[in-house]
Structure formats: C-alpha cells, structure tokens
Amino acid sequence: QKEVEQDPGPLSVPEGAIVSLNCTYSNSAFQYFMWYRQYSRKGPELLMYTYSSGNKEDGRFTAQVDKSSKYISLFIRDSQPSDSATYLCAMSNYGGSQGNLIFGKGTKLSVKP
Amino acid sequence: GAVVSQHPSWVICKSGTSVKIECRSLDFQATTMFWYRQFPKQSLMLMATSNEGSKATYEQGVEKDKFLINHASLTLSTLTVTSAHPEDSSFYICSARDVGMGGGYGYTFGSGTRLTVV
C-alpha cells in the first residue's frame, strides 16, 4: 500500500460546479497536510495547508482533514476555468528542522466554460 | 512570500553531456533543499535532500554519482546530471523550506526544469 493515494482523474466539471478532491493515507504520524496546485510545466504552488484534523476555508477553497479516517479533502466552490490544473495532496510528519513531503499522484481537473 | 528561483526552465542536451540546474531561495535562507523528479502524469518523487555545508542524502535507487548535488550556501543548491542519457529526460523541481514560516508547511517550489536528452 502506498503511503498516499490519490485518484489521478482526469476530472471534468462545468464552470460553477463544486469540486471535491480527496486523498487517503496510511501513515498515522502525518500531522501537516497540504494541497498544491500545479499548472502544466510549472512547479507546484501551495494552495491550502492544515495542521492535524479540522477544516480550513480560504475563499472558494475548503480543506478538510479527518485523521481518524486518514482522509483529506479539498473542495472548490464556484469552480472557474482558471482552476483547471493538477491538484496534488501532500503531507509531512515534520519531526524537526528537516523533513520532506510525501505527495499523492495528483488529480487533473478541467473546468469547462 | 517566499520565492524559489530555478534555472534553466528547460534544456536540451546531447547524450553523454552534463547539465547543471540551479535553485536559489531569493528572500529567505534555506538550510535544506529538496530535489524532485516528475514523469508525465506521475507525482513528484523525491530524489535527494540537500543540506547546506554537508553531503546530500539520496533516496533509495537514486545514483549519487550521476545526480551530483551541491549546497554551498544558504541560498543556492545545484543539481548536475552527469553523462545524461535519454532516460534522464524528465521534469526536475527543487523545493526549499523556509524555516521562518514555521511548522511543516513552509515548502516553496521552483518553477521546474524540463530536461530533454537527445
């Protein structure tokens, strides 16, 4: 079993739809959870981050973490064509000054006008 | 916010030659930088962790003699692909951790380098 599982899609939705992206993980030591957005041929950019369990909202984006189920989600409301990108979940246990991220495969999202 | 500059953004080289990729943290000091490789439709795979002033730590299966990493200052890390072959063609991305951001979130990525070996 891989440490982080993410459905690669592709996912195609009409403009204005609510998008739900998810990841599951197996390592219960993960404490920091992030969502990155990656446009084609670009590096990932941090979209949302959450510590431990709970919800976090930022504009049209909501991140949820359920540590008991080892499941994280990213919701995009009122999706726009500009949201079309690959979304990568990432997580870390961050035990000190160093630490690296474990990524999901990414879900490719296409928002049709 | 924190910015990581990565150059070049793309490079084409002949088989057998070496290519150097630079990664700079522009407005923060990065004691640790990470180098990733990404194949089409695949996730980022960590190749090595670069520590300022010490040897890099390579992930299992990554040849340290082929992928030379140098982290000579707190703002610069380089990855040199030596004796490149077509199978080394990939998208290489660096990441630096801004410890000032706190917690485990402060990872900023470069814009990536697309390497094509012909």
Distance CA A87, CA A32 (A): 17
Find chain A residues with C-beta within 8 A of B110's C-beta.
Answer: 43
Q: Is the pLDDT of residue B106 over 80?
A: no
In this structure, what token pair is assigned to residue B100? 């000032």
Q: Tens digit of pLDDT for each residue in B57-73?
A: 999 999 999 999 998 88
Please state, for a pLDDT cut of 90, what percent of chain A lies above it. 65
Q: Is the pLDDT of residue B79 over 70?
A: yes
In this structure, what token pair is assigned to residue A44? 């990932």
β partners of residue B40:
none
With cut-offs at 50, 70 and 90, classify the pLDDT of residue A49. Answer: confident
Buried b (16+ CB within 10 A) or exposed e, B47-76: bbbbbbeeebbbeeebeeeebbbebeeebb
Nearest CA in chain B to A92: B104
Location of structure tokens 């998810």: A22
Distance CA A15, CA A12 (A): 10
Which of B34, B44, B112 is opposite residue A41, by nearest beta carbon? B112
Average pLDDT over residues B70-82: 92
Q: Tens digit of pLDDT for each residue in A17-43?
A: 999 999 999 988 888 899 999 998 889
Q: Tens digit of pLDDT for each residue in B9-49?
A: 999 999 999 999 999 999 888 878 999 999 887 888 889 99
Q: Measured between alpha carbons, how far apart are the two ends of chain A, in Å?
A: 37
Interface test with A, best of B107, B108, B115 (most A CBs within 10 A): B107
Q: Using the beta-carbon criterion (under 8 Å), do B97 and A46 form an inter-chain contact?
A: no
Distance from CA of B27 to the nearest CA of A (A): 17
Q: Using the beta-carbon criterion (under 8 Å), do A88 and B34 form an inter-chain contact?
A: no
Q: Using the beta-carbon criterion (under 8 Å), do A43 and B99 form an inter-chain contact?
A: no
Burial class (CB in 10 A: 0-12, 13-18, 19+), B87: exposed
The one-letter amino acid code at B70 reads N
